[in-house]
A and B are shown apart, each in its own frame.
Chain A
Amino acid sequence: MLPFVLYFVTAVVTGFHVYTLLSLAVYGVPVNLLELLSLLGSFCLLIAAYVSLFRPHAAARLALLACLVMWSFYAPAIAKIVRTRWAMPAAVSQFMGATSKHSFLRPNRA
């Protein structure tokens, strides 16, 4: 049951994570193709979880393929997080966060 549990938990957790990212699209966040690929990988991992009950070796190959597909999204994301943590934030970007959101195009009136 170990491969089943491992694949299943991974599929659910990564699928939920990517789903929450994709759901931000309703707020205008652009959808990244790698997110869709990662969601596909989660689905394949779900299939691999079931297949692992009767064909562990084939399931492992499918799971490995699905994981590699998912890494195409997670690896750049992790790399960016690490780079951001290590890099010093620019003073300009800090200032931008505090500016008024709604002055653009608004005429000078009451």
Chain B
Amino acid sequence: MIVPYLAAIVLALATAYSAVVSFRQKPEGEGPRPSWIFPGRTNRPARMFVGFAMLILVIGLGVRFGTNGRNLSPRSFRFLIPEGYRGWVRVEFEIPGVPALQAERGQIVIKIPPSGLLRTSSPEQYGWARDTYFFYSSAGLRPIPDSGPARLIWGKINGESTGSSGKRKYEEFFVGNEQQYKDQIDHPKPKDSSRDSHSPAAIP
């Protein structure tokens, strides 16, 4: 990471040089003779050429950085959860051999099956993004509040677990009211060894 050190060095040089020039030359009257270190005015064609080249370079850098910025910004998730589902939802990412997630209207759609566990080969998205949640049924979609008094989304976490099948990146959250969420934390359901070890527990 040389850029910070380089930035500090060239900034120190520029500061020293500009300070010397500022206090050395006089704006009016006869100043000292131009030299390579303290040059005078350049001619008009040179100014135009440099100005034009600088403009092109600055626009190019702006476009490049702007494109990179857009690529860095994460896409939000749209979670589709079965109507009436209560319990933990878990999404496991970068699992080989399973379908990838599809994007729709600028959001990545995650349709959770009734088991509450979804495995996908898509990578996880990091950064700030506003995820949305919906219950789905044959009647269509119904938004799920994730804030306020009627909130039904709790304890959202993402992370990486290591098990017999290797490392798994996952995202989890709880669907239910506040009391159900607190009950789930205070009195977690005992582990059922017959279930898939990664299968979330649904609350009836």
- List residues of chain A with CB under 8 Å of any chain B CB: 1-4, 6-10, 12-14, 16-17, 19-20, 23, 26-28, 45-46, 48-50, 53-58, 60-61, 63-64, 67-68, 70-71, 74, 77-78, 101-102, 104-110
Contact = CB atoms under 8 A, between A and B. Distances in A.
B157 A104 contact: yes
Contacts of B198: 110
B27 A57 contact: yes
Contact of A105 (B51, B155, B160, B192): B155
A50 B54 contact: yes
Interface of chain B: mostly helix, strand, loop or mixed? mixed
A68 B39 contact: no
A109 B25 contact: no
Contacts of B150: none
Interface residues of B, number: 62
Contacts of A63: 14, 17-18
B19 interface: yes
B74 interface: yes
Given A54-B41, A56-B21, A106 B127 contact: no
Given A19-B65, A53-B50, A109 B188 contact: yes
A49 B47 CA distance: 11
Given A17-B7, A56-B25, A2 B36 contact: yes
A108 B188 contact: yes
Contact of A7 (B7, B14, B184): B14
Contacts of B139: none
A11 B25 CA distance: 23
A108 B186 CA distance: 9
A7 B39 CA distance: 14
